[in-house]
Structure 1
Amino acid sequence: MASITTPSFDRRANLSLFSRLRKAEGQADPFPIYAELRARGAISPAPWGGFLVTSFSTCDQILRGNAWLEPDTRWRERQGVSTRWGASSSREISRTLPALNPPEHTRVRRSAGNFDRTTIDRMGRRVSQVVDDLLDTVMEHLHTGEADFAALVSEELPVATIGDWLGLPRADWPRLRELTHDQVFTQELLPSASQLARSDAAMAELRAYFLHLVHERRARPGEDPVSRWIRTWDAMEPDRDKADEAVYFLVLFVLLAALETTSTLLSTMTLLLVEHPSRWSLLAAQPDLVPAFVEEALRYDPPTHVISRVAAEDCLLHGVEVRADEMVHLLVGAAHRDPAQYDRPDAFDPRRKAPHLSFSGGIHYCLGAPLARLEAQTLLHRTVTRLPRLTLARRPDRAPRVAFRRLLNLDVALA
């Protein structure tokens, strides 16, 4: 039987590391801090309770294993209303697909359908058109100076893609994008009270907006995804109000997943492209490397640096006793630089062929991964083939987050 060990560093020892992660310097480059944490072991105590996991193989094992659960609605209720898990935005997000456990997860995922090849091909034509229009706007700005690629492209492409697919009015896209950025704080690692308040307000507005949308589509159904989900849930759920709420949570999930992490992927990928001229030259000469470049960007600096799970029962993890209901934080950003998994992990190598955890794993593998890849690959290919070489005008600023990365700007100029 495996022996029980006590991590060699207590919870206070890791507190200073997380204090540094929350500062601008740590958010700009968290990887040296991750390396310090990794040196303390594959699993170490989190300052606020639970554990931190930095090993790629252990993170992968947990994501694929049945012994680890999402912190779902019932788990959050057990934590108490006075905790961050009792916030209204936390309770609301716990009812979306990524936070569900079987059998609820199985039922909802099946109702959502998949981004199959036919759907992706159809959306691909729209993505190509949107990318070309957005790059035209970038060129207009570059003729007179600099262009903020994040604002002009990375923030616009995901909302245009998913907004068009869902049939959302174009006039609503900017506000939905703002609300998406605000709601994410409830999913952050250590949200402050003010951040949770922003999440609560954003989530309330999103709920009202999308419930109204569902009611409108029920009254005037079409061939859009929302109308199809209404028909699907009407066949599954006799209570119409419950069916409408199930569709609302599906639409909410699709919007949040499609906007937040995809825009970060697009900005990070473009930053990696323009900050080193050799990378632009490589892709311009070998455009067949575009898919591999995207995958390496996902490994090198993933949009989400933390994924959390809870233990289904008492267990040992690397010899450390983890109690049932106790949370483990999978530091994906650290796991992606694990030298036990990757050769030269701190080097960006677009020729690298290696796995990553940016789309999670197991039953919770990202439903929208094909769409995110489509947008990223289309944008990268069009950028290096349509635009003259760009260069980074200045280092970007980042949002005050640890788990969900976001560039606030990406200023570029003609090289």
Structure 2
Amino acid sequence: MTVVRSMSGTTADRRAVIFLLRRLRSPEGQNNPQPVWHELRALGDVVPAPWGGYLVTGYDACTEVLRGKATWLAPDLAWQARQPNTERWQASATRAISRALFRLNPPVHTAQRRSLGNPFDRHALDSLAPRVAAHATRVVDRLAERIRHDGEADFVTLVGDRLPILTVGEWLGIPEHHHAHILDFTHRQVHSQELFPTKRELAISAQATADMREFFTGLIEERRADPGDDVVSRWIRYWDEQFPDDRAAADQTVYDLVMFITIASLETSATLMANAVWLLGRHTDRWQWLRRHQEHIDDAVEETLRYDPPVHFNTRIAADDTQLAGIPIAKDQMVHVMYGAAAHDPRRNQNPELFDITREGAHLSHMSFGGGIHYCLGAALARLEARTLLTELLRRFETLIPLTAPTYAPRMVFRRVTSLKVTT
């Protein structure tokens, strides 16, 4: 029997670890991942994984990885080229997404990040807020109309999926008739970011990547032909200056940025909003309490991010031989930060199994937006969208009651709520 050792000195059957991960991907585990997180944490803060990497479950150990920019790197193209599993790491979808900002390391990451500045600073958010509010009113109008007509409605399709694409689409100047297409290839492309995508999933992601390439390349060509003061046109001008003799390099960088900003802002924000409605609406007294105490809306958003983060895993690579929580980690070895397990670490959050809107230091109780140089670029925008939507929902509905539990895509890395039926 093959075993793996945990930091506590106990041993765990390799098959037991695989079983826990399969449970996490199952409908039962998607609906309630807490028991799986608890069992994985019981194996230690750093748990050797059957494929040779490590699962990082403890809050402090996860924080150390996310903030250690010199010690822990993103799994970039250079690292992928050294891996024996060429079918996975050399797949077109994997290589395409690996050009995105969250898979880059300095100095390339530094250059691209500097070109963006802080796109969602206080000034930008103040400018965006009225438009986000207008979009929130619009999607909630549709939700209310569908409930009046049918007695129920799917929150995800009418609201959760719609608000993020309306917001980022307008910010990038992408006409609304393209939004459904963008959502479609985003949902399909994400398979390549799973821990172990199958051949079929990689094929689906490959086609999505081709569709994505065609769309965003066309968008950049349009902005070159008719430049304006929009975000994409400004990026084109900036990168033309950085690559004055290489337009292809400039276009590739602009493509990578537009692709990343667009797809990174959609599913995670949609899942956050669906989770908030599920966690608040399933208890009528909780919903009504928040209606009376709307000064806690931000706290409700943060507790939702802690209790059920939209991302389960984030992967880093050891830059050199090192140690993590007393466990030796070899250079190039993968470690998988488990956001949910860390946020439910009782050493960091008391009574972590409780959804507590009044949890002290709610915004410091989770790491759902990552950390260090890869801290989520759109964190402030996601919070604005969630806060604005919850404010509108609480204003419009005395109750918003889920009829059934959410349904989820069968994934382990990026959670996606595919349906949440609600009524009033």
Helix, strand or coil at the partner of 2:408: coil
Which of 280, 283, 289 aligns to 1:276? It is 283
Unaligned 5+ segments in structure 1 are none
Partner of 1:107: 111
- 1:46 and 2:26 correspond: no
Partner of 1:88: 92
Deviation at 1:47, TM superposition (A): 1.8
Helix, strand or coil at the partner of 2:407: coil
CA contact (8 A) 2:288 2:398 kept: no
* TM-score, normalised by the number of residues in structure 2: 0.94
Deviations 1:195-230 (A, max 9, x none): 111111101110111111111101110011000001
* Cα gap change, 1:83 to 1:48, in 2 (>3 Å): farther
- 1:381 and 2:387 correspond: no
Deviation at 1:6, TM superposition (A): 6.6
Helix, strand or coil at the partner of 1:189: coil
CA contact (8 A) 1:52 1:328 kept: yes
Helix, strand or coil at the partner of 1:18: helix
Helix, strand or coil at the partner of 2:412: coil
Partner of 2:413: 403
Letter in structure 2 aligned against 1:133: R
CA contact (8 A) 1:6 1:320 kept: no
Letter in structure 2 aligned against 1:137: R
Partner Cα separation in structure 1 for residue 14 and residue 231 of structure 2: 47
Partner Cα separation in structure 2 for residue 15 and residue 390 of structure 1: 38
Task: Please identify, of 106-115 and 150-159, the stretch whose mean Cα deviation from structure 2 is larger.
Answer: 106-115
Task: Please identify, of 390-399 and 61-70, the stretch whose mean Cα deviation from structure 2 is larger.
Answer: 390-399
Deviation at 1:7, TM superposition (A): 6.3
Partner of 2:179: 173
Which of 125, 132, 139 aligns to 2:137? It is 132
Helix, strand or coil at the partner of 1:313: coil
Helix, strand or coil at the partner of 2:11: coil
Letter in structure 2 aligned against 1:14: V
- 1:360 and 2:363 correspond: no
Q: Report how many aligned residue pairs link the two structures.
A: 411
Partner of 2:403: 393
Letter in structure 2 aligned against 1:23: S
CA contact (8 A) 1:9 1:45 kept: no
* Cα gap change, 1:316 to 1:192, in 2 (>3 Å): same
Deviation at 1:190, TM superposition (A): 2.1
Letter in structure 2 aligned against 1:102: P
- 1:184 and 2:190 correspond: yes
- Following superposition, which runs of at least 4 residues in structure 1 exceed 2 angstroms of deviation? 4-13, 80-83
Helix, strand or coil at the partner of 1:59: helix
Deviation at 1:12, TM superposition (A): 3.4
Partner Cα separation in structure 2 for residue 89 and residue 113 of structure 1: 27
Partner of 2:4: none
CA contact (8 A) 1:7 1:43 kept: no
CA contact (8 A) 2:31 2:405 kept: no
Letter in structure 2 aligned against 1:235: E
Deviations 1:9-53 (A, max 9, x none): 253331111122222111111110111111111111112221101
Partner of 1:29: 32
Task: Please identify, of 336-345 and 108-117, the stretch whose mean Cα deviation from structure 2 is larger.
Answer: 108-117
Which of 269, 272, 276 aligns to 1:265? It is 272
CA contact (8 A) 2:101 2:113 kept: yes
- 1:13 and 2:16 correspond: yes
Deviation at 1:76, TM superposition (A): 0.9
Helix, strand or coil at the partner of 1:143: helix
Deviations 1:63-93 (A, max 9, x none): 0012000000111111146342221111111
* TM-score, normalised by the number of residues in structure 1: 0.96
- 1:228 and 2:234 correspond: yes
Partner Cα separation in structure 2 for residue 180 and residue 133 of structure 1: 23
Unaligned 5+ segments in structure 2 are 1-6
Letter in structure 2 aligned against 1:60: T
Query: Kindly, what percent of the aligned residue pairs are identical?
Result: 48
Partner Cα separation in structure 2 for residue 5 and residue 269 of structure 1: 35
Letter in structure 2 aligned against 1:9: A
Partner Cα separation in structure 1 for residue 348 and residue 155 of structure 2: 33
- 1:301 and 2:308 correspond: yes
Task: Please identify, of 311-320 and 49-58, the stretch whose mean Cα deviation from structure 2 is larger.
Answer: 311-320
Helix, strand or coil at the partner of 2:164: helix
Letter in structure 1 aligned against 2:86: S
Task: Please identify, of 193-202 and 13-22, the stretch whose mean Cα deviation from structure 2 is larger.
Answer: 13-22
Partner Cα separation in structure 2 for residue 10 and residue 92 of structure 1: 36
CA contact (8 A) 1:9 1:44 kept: no
Deviation at 1:179, TM superposition (A): 0.6
- 1:249 and 2:253 correspond: no
Partner Cα separation in structure 2 for residue 20 and residue 5 of structure 1: 23
RMSD: 1.4
